Structure 1
Amino acid sequence: MVESKKKDTTEHAANVKTKKISAECYLFKLLAPSVRQHAPVVLNSVPQTWLPPALGSLKINTDATWNSESLCCGLAALLRDSLGTFLNGVVSVGKATSAEAAEAQAVLLGLNLAKTESILSFSLEADCLPLISALKSSLGSVSWSTLSWFQQIKSLADSFSSVNWSWISREANVAADVAAHLAPRLEPVLDWFLNPPPSLHHVLQSDAVAAPP
């Protein structure tokens, strides 16, 4: 008799628990659409297309490719004006012990391009967020593999009136990426930027057309 009562009590408790869970699930279903409807929407504020600098200003975009097995890297820096006009470009091939170190070499290449063109004030964009963040901060630091390049960048940057460091998404940095992939082929060609390969020319034209008036 006692065991029967105990069994009935257990079953009753289980039924109550089941009903409670069912009620909670039902309540969630009722509220869920409202919750989803009012959930904050996070928009990606980073441009997905290349944007030209301000009127009368210049911008340099840099990028690098890197092979973790051979440690070979392709570097590129492209100079454009506020109309999206491609003014000059430089590519190089080298060695790097990390992808970040390769990106740093590309940034240094961009600064040397500005030096060659006697540009004192400009923007420099790259899609390596840790590197750009370190350059924007007076207390910025990088990995040991990038340190020597980072120090060279900081030293050379001091010779300009103003360098506006800016991070750019990979989707918006396609032109520099294409040039970096073509670096082994373009490096031996003198003044290649006067007649860029079709693949690069297409991206440069697309960027210029997409640029706001």
Structure 2
Amino acid sequence: MVVSSWSPPPLGVFKINTDATIDVAKMRTGIGIIARDSSGAVMASSAQMVRVNYELQIAEAIAILRGVQFALEAGSFVPRKTNMVAHCLTKEGLLSESDVFWFEEVPQCASPTVLGDCPNSL
């Protein structure tokens, strides 16, 4: 059995993970973004909500675009099973009325996963 988990970027590089989730009933798309360094330390994270009900592939593409914008403004794609922190942030995005940003931390829902990925990261 192959077990996948988050893997850190090379030394001196930040890795940005993104994810999207859809709430069809409320016509909302939640977007999660997290940036971590080679030790797994959280540099920044964001949960965003878009008031449109996209197809999942379009929502994922928008999440990637927002991740690139996030990287450009602040200074790699992996499957969801290795990207659970970003997925947690999508859920926060669905609950938000506006974009939310955290610096050097993540919301409480994501802390266990970040600590599981890299125990010294928070």
Instruction: Give the alignment's TM-score, normalised by structure 2.
Output: 0.82
Instruction: Give the alignment's TM-score, normalised by structure 1.
Output: 0.50
Equivalence for 2:114: 204
* CA RMSD between the two structures: 2.5
How far did 1:184 drift? Answer: 3.8
Q: Of 94, 100, 104, which aligns to 2:61? A: 104
More strand by share: 2
Measured in 2, the distance between the counterparts of 1:203 and 1:173 equals 9
Q: Using a 3 Å threshold, how does the CA distance of structure 1 residues 57 and 84 change in structure 2: closer, same or farther?
A: same
- Bigger RCO of structures 1 and 2 (CA < 8 A, at least 6 apart): 2
**Alignment pair present for 1:88 and 2:44:** yes
More helix by share: 1
Please list the CA deviations of residues 21-56 of structure 1 after superposition, one character each: whole Å capped at 9, or x if unmatched: xxxxxxxxxxxxxxxxxxxxxx65xx6110001122
Equivalence for 1:170: 80
Structure 2: state its 5+ residue gaps.
Answer: none
8 Å contact from structure 2 (residues 46, 99) kept in 1: no
Q: Give the partner amino acid of 1:170.
A: R
Select the structure of larger CA radius of gyration. Answer: 1
8 Å contact from structure 1 (residues 68, 98) kept in 2: no
How far did 1:114 drift? Answer: 0.7
Structure 1: state its 5+ residue gaps.
Answer: 1-42, 119-123, 126-167
How far did 1:194 drift? Answer: 4.5
Equivalence for 1:160: none
Measured in 2, the distance between the counterparts of 1:186 and 1:192 equals 14
How far did 1:190 drift? Answer: 5.8
Measured in 1, the distance between the counterparts of 2:101 and 2:32 equals 14
**Alignment pair present for 1:180 and 2:94:** no
